[in-house]
Structure 1
């Protein structure tokens, strides 16, 4: 549990002075990371006031204090033939067993305990279909990445589901994205206290988190804060956001279930009622909502980003073609070779029979083609851009025979957490690939314009051998191929996302 202490209480018994930093959120005391003692971790730092009471379903409000804060704990977070480690990996990825709560707008920092100043900064946004997720996960522990690359690693909690994307009328939309933005502003203002360089902030995310970081490049083009963006298995072109009408329908249904609304009720009265309801009752109401779509495919979460033309736009393809994104934000885009390997798990739980050919289209529509189109628009606009495809299929991370490089399977490699997640040791080749990936992500963060080039990774050109294959046939070195090898079927989709329903 986190708690504030009066400044008169002597803390030196518990913490050394080198672990203390002064921020707008108070004097923060951290502690050595459990498995990387040269790294100091600061957990659960509040960047916004608790979004409860009148702040529920409202934009985030900054948090500031001069008190002392002991940052020692994370806060609440908002298959046949399966392998022995299936349950452990899937439960960790889906956040099973975590404690949920509304007072969650915090971030976590990992930084090496050294006197070096001006280190590059990486800020991570988790995925979870904008419906689940949190930073208290072995997947995203930043100690190994901070240690090996000597960068400052930060993970951010933001609101998801109905609390982050309520769709209520006459109110601000996409609160979860605004949470992320406020967290980035906090990082820009405070990261120097952790020896970080506010001019070298890279934001990266996976799945819905990848979509989110790409959204930021469009929504905040004039002040992106970030110098680089890494979008893993998700981009703005990956998701058909809710229309205001669809979002309103879901909000009305949920508020009706808890006894707050019916069609035609005063939106302000409904909102006040919803703010008075129990947190768990609202979540239970959300769980009863069934979204429209193809019943033979995965259902989409009802509460997700909504088009407001401020933070989320209706036509990202047109915006991309027009180059209306942050030109100074360098891009690093990806997909895994078999994203569907993870999604087959919920499909089985839903009792859906989806053919292999449908799964192939799912991979294309939701991941390969959006990454291809995004990389094309960036490179055409002269933005230094790199693109990779991940192929790793490791014994300790395999979900079932044939799961391959499934959705999210590269996360443990980037963060160096494969053994923590699976409970099984990594092999020599796997450790080599993980080290190489951490080096590449760190190189991009340190120099988003040339760091990867220095490693021999060419900038993306759609007609040249510039698609970087990572762990192809489990090799520790990368290989380069022409992206048409994987992108050619994209022309048959004409930008349609329908085959990837339920991916986000």
Structure 2
């Protein structure tokens, strides 16, 4: 073969034909990477606030070199994620693919990442989600995707389907089913994985009829317990629309550019505590968006649907971080400043049983300071117990689940962050100098034990994607064995037994509108 023929042959390998048309990727450090491939039509104009529409075919070869534009979202986005090389435009609904050198031996397992961001922030092009180490270390195909967030994706408005952001995720998974073979991936070996709102999305997908059969395995990292009733979601949407001087209808909201409409959601999020008498536990969260239990797109809260067998055949891996809520205390400047009055408020607001729950927490943690109680109950309510309960629901339905807890403390910011929310993301992707990794590892460098733990994360996650076994026993209601991820990882009974017992028997469901 001549040099020219070899070059032409190598270039040809970078072109993949999808159902809608050909795309050309780039070779990057032993992988072929495709960015910004549309999986649905831009949701603007007549398609605004609608379910995702199939992408129209194109002629010729589309260069898949850059990430698609982020979906419209709050102004905090750019400062939080440090997006690079992102064009402007309306083509938000895109996927990105990292795939090893194709060979004829066999198709590779596929992992599909769903980002977090409180259902109001996020973009698959954020540097913290660079999947090269996942794909290379695991020898598998990794797909990341964009979905609509905030008002565009989750506001419950008249004239539009609920949970449009979740429907985007389903459309992306359908794209994977229909196209991933061309990238060397096995459509029968798909694992969805996500963190925070991404984990809440994964939990929702387990419960959604439209997502059935699109993935074989699921990984949910720090599942948030916030799912809205239809009544609550509509009331929040009315407040947001009113902020913009509009009615909560698709027709009315569509008269405002989506990038300008985000300001209304941001303004309501900043004053949610004023709605405490109507929105209850949601009001202190500053997050006016969550999946809506609308009875159609999402028929039931994930815990109920999973316990009833909706995902019995899906292999499940779930876990949370020990000090989830610490991140929000540090970022809000509250760490070390919580007094008795604030601790009492948090316990009565979030503990199961209200005033009785406060007494139970104080009895279970007699040595805890007000700040520790404030943090503990919100870690449990928001992430810890919803995550554990998802595993228990899967077991109740006759399925299997593996559980982990991350206890290794982030070294940045003087070591005060502990094993806080989102620490698992830079550890998993190995992106210590991007996004929140800049905070979590600031001033500390990357210690050797962080690299070791990062490699363990990827080895366990990719092993699970390949075999359904992450390297430790499945969780059971008797021994309750979990993988504790620390400098010296070990398998032992679930460490947060005191919290587990406090929440035993509590039913997680959709959050109501208070009458």
Scaled by the length of structure 2, what TM-score is found? Answer: 0.80
Partner of 1:387: 403
Report if aligned partners of 2:170, 2:210 keep a CA contact under 8 Å in 1. Answer: no
Indicate the structure with greater helix content.
Answer: 2
Partner of 2:15: 20
Q: CA deviation at 1:349?
A: 8.1
Alignment of 1:151-170 (within 5 A): 151-170=140-159
What are the superposed Cα offsets for residues 372-399 of structure 1, whole Å, 9 maximum, x if unpaired? 222122223332210000122243xx24
Q: Secondary structure at the match of 1:343?
A: helix
Inter-partner Cα distance in structure 2 for 1:223 and 1:379: 19
Partner of 2:375: 359
User: Which residue of the other structure, out of 469, 472, 487, is the alignment partner of 2:497?
Assistant: 487
Closer, same or farther: CA 338–431 of 1 in aligned 2, 3 Å: same
Closer, same or farther: CA 427–129 of 1 in aligned 2, 3 Å: same
What are the superposed Cα offsets for residues 46-91 of structure 1, whole Å, 9 maximum, x if unpaired? 000001111111111011314211011112212xxxxxxxxxxx98
Report if aligned partners of 1:184, 1:225 keep a CA contact under 8 Å in 2. Answer: yes
Inter-partner Cα distance in structure 2 for 1:317 and 1:223: 16
Alignment of 1:60-71 (within 5 A): 60-67=52-59, 68-71=61-64
Closer, same or farther: CA 135–307 of 1 in aligned 2, 3 Å: same
Matched, 1:279 2:258: yes
Report if aligned partners of 2:329, 2:335 keep a CA contact under 8 Å in 1. Answer: no
Q: CA deviation at 1:309?
A: 1.5
Matched, 1:192 2:177: no
Report if aligned partners of 2:121, 2:149 keep a CA contact under 8 Å in 1. Answer: yes
User: Which residue of the other structure, out of 484, 489, 495, is the alignment partner of 1:469?
Assistant: 484
Partner of 2:309: 324
Q: CA deviation at 1:247?
A: 2.3
Q: CA deviation at 1:411?
A: 1.1
Inter-partner Cα distance in structure 1 for 2:322 and 2:228: 28
What are the superposed Cα offsets for residues 405-425 of structure 1, whole Å, 9 maximum, x if unpaired? 111111112112224544875
Report if aligned partners of 2:83, 2:127 keep a CA contact under 8 Å in 1. Answer: no
Indicate the RMSD between aligned Cα atoms, in angstroms.
3.0
Partner of 1:81: none
Partner of 2:424: 410
Closer, same or farther: CA 25–117 of 1 in aligned 2, 3 Å: farther
Q: CA deviation at 1:429?
A: 2.2
Q: CA deviation at 1:217?
A: 1.0
Q: CA deviation at 1:97?
A: 5.7
Matched, 1:32 2:27: yes
Q: CA deviation at 1:101?
A: 5.8
Inter-partner Cα distance in structure 1 for 2:196 and 2:118: 7
Report if aligned partners of 2:158, 2:250 keep a CA contact under 8 Å in 1. Answer: no
User: Which residue of the other structure, out of 436, 451, 457, is the alignment partner of 1:431?
Assistant: 451
Partner of 1:111: 99
Q: CA deviation at 1:435?
A: 1.3
What are the superposed Cα offsets for residues 460-485 of structure 1, whole Å, 9 maximum, x if unpaired? 113216211112xx12xx311112x3
Q: Secondary structure at the match of 2:194?
A: strand
Scaled by the length of structure 1, what TM-score is found? Answer: 0.82
Report if aligned partners of 1:28, 1:70 keep a CA contact under 8 Å in 2. Answer: yes
User: Which residue of the other structure, out of 205, 227, 234, is the alignment partner of 1:248?
Assistant: 234
Q: Secondary structure at the match of 1:437?
A: helix
User: Which residue of the other structure, out of 52, 56, 66, is the alignment partner of 1:73?
Assistant: 66
What are the superposed Cα offsets for residues 324-362 of structure 1, whole Å, 9 maximum, x if unpaired? 322110000000111112111443389994532111111
Q: Secondary structure at the match of 1:311?
A: coil
Inter-partner Cα distance in structure 1 for 2:138 and 2:82: 30
Inter-partner Cα distance in structure 1 for 2:14 and 2:481: 43
Matched, 1:48 2:40: yes
Structure 1 spans left out of the alignment, 5+ residues: 1-11, 79-89, 262-266
Q: Which of structure 1's runs of 4+ aligned residues deviate more than 6 A?
A: 12-15, 90-93, 294-297, 349-352
Inter-partner Cα distance in structure 2 for 1:386 and 1:296: 29
Report if aligned partners of 2:207, 2:311 keep a CA contact under 8 Å in 1. Answer: yes
Matched, 1:445 2:465: yes
Closer, same or farther: CA 144–215 of 1 in aligned 2, 3 Å: same
Partner of 1:229: 218
Q: How many residues align?
A: 452
Inter-partner Cα distance in structure 1 for 2:210 and 2:496: 30
Q: CA deviation at 1:300?
A: 3.4
Q: CA deviation at 1:285?
A: 1.7
Inter-partner Cα distance in structure 2 for 1:497 and 1:324: 16
